Amino acid sequence: MLASLGGTPVRKKFLPYGRQHLDDTDIETVSNILRGDWLTTGPTVEKFESSFAAWNNVEYAIAVSSGTAALHAASFAAGFTSGDEVITSPLTFAATANCILYQGASPVFADVDPNTLCISPKEIEKKITSKTKGIIVMHYAGQPCEMDQVMSLAEEYKLVVIEDACHAMGSTYKGKQAGTIGHLACYSFHPVKHITTGEGGMVVTSNDEWAKRIRGFRNHGMSTNSRQRNKAGEWVSDMSDLGYNYRLSDFQSALGFRQLSKVNDSIKRRREIAQSYDKSFKKSNILEPITVMPENNPSWHIYPILLNLNTLSVGRKEIYKDMRAENIGVNVHYRPVHMHSYYKHRFGYLPGDFPNAENAYDRLLTLPIFPQMTDQDVQDVIKAIEKVSSHYIHKYRDI
């Protein structure tokens, strides 16, 4: 019997869809910085940036206060401004589109591929106009988009490509690391991401001028920071751009540096969990994982499934509630951006404008995946999804 109907839950303890993992060394690393001289704009920030750039195989990495700040800073560096259009996916967290608005430009959505749920290059090309300045691709769930086609469009139409790689740290596309293919890329270090700094983010690029602009942008548009002025024995700094306070602190950077040393093992474990799910759901007629392109090796920030609602007597809402009653912390990623009230009211979007994204949203469910999950945790998730979905498929057949 389902737990929601009075039965015994699959698990006694709630299993979240994602969570951070901090060990004693992580905590001690942060404590050492707190005992030191520099809590912000200090040497640990540069140490983290250098290590991240090397790990990601790019020239420059600029740490900022969040993944949203990273997207905003990248949009600033790319020169998006009033009158420009920037194409992006509707199936993403709102920040991917919001960063375009922050710059006074207009977000233009291009529908996703119904199988991969990544933005479709064919749909991108349909939306290109004389006003188009750039493309922000979002590597959904950690699966890179069709970057060869995207970059070909960018070259043809002279567009800047920003990779929203907040899901995709360590993912590869045709052997190339996500975040190294576009002109700029952005990462998030929120607690559920591959590494965490509490809140934090990173912009990476191999363009020297863009890197310089972003460093100023995160620091109120100033030409120098306090550590640089202290070292030079100077007090004057010039504000050359309108920037923001998007700095990442030294103790956050210390945590990020330490987490980076463990990220390869974390990604390996995420892939193992995804493979277990894939194997269990391979022959299911109730649900299906998203399609992974042969040239891709995702790092699986999230593990989304698509419910086959034709075989069920209820919708996603009931499955979601019953899974959580079984103490499995499923989630939904994402409500398409154009369906949020702000975007509907401002831009007049209507149901059916982006049918692939909307159809996916009705069916999407995110299953727990994080490196500290045990094999038993994984089996609990599989057992719960089978328990809940089979209840409704049997009920449906009896009608």
- By annotation, the residues acting in catalysis are 193
Q: Which residue, 150, 157, 144, 156, is CA-closest to 117?
A: 144
Integer CA distances (angstroms), 234 to 39, 227, 228, 230, in order: 20, 10, 8, 6
Can you tell me the distance from the alpha carbon of 259 to that of 46, in angstroms, rounded to the nearest whole number? 15
Q: At what angle do helices 67-78 and 208-217 cross, to 10 degrees?
A: 130
Prior bond of 334 cis (ω within 30°): yes
Give the β-pairing of 296-297 and 106-109.
unpaired
Give the span between the Cα atoms of 315 and 155, in whole angstroms.
Answer: 43
- Quick one: how far is CA 75 from the chain centroid? 16
Q: What is the rounded CA–CA span in Å between residue 66 and residue 197?
A: 9
**CB atoms closer than 10 angstroms to residue 255:** 26
Strand partners, 305: 289, 365
Tokens of 111: 């529908």
Q: Give Dmax over CA atoms of the chain in angstroms.
A: 81
Angle, in degrees to the nearest 10, between helices 250-260 and 43-56: 30
Alpha helices (runs of H) in 171-225, residue ranges in sequence order: 208-217
The beta strand positions in the chain, using DSSP E, are 60-64, 85-88, 106-109, 132-138, 160-164, 172-173, 176-177, 184-188, 201-205, 287-289, 296-297, 303-307, 364-367
SS3 (DSSP) at 388: helix
- CA distances (Å), 23 to each of 270, 346, 371, 384, in order? 18, 45, 13, 30
Q: Is 42 exposed, middle or buried (0-12, 13-18, 19+ CB in 10 A)?
A: buried
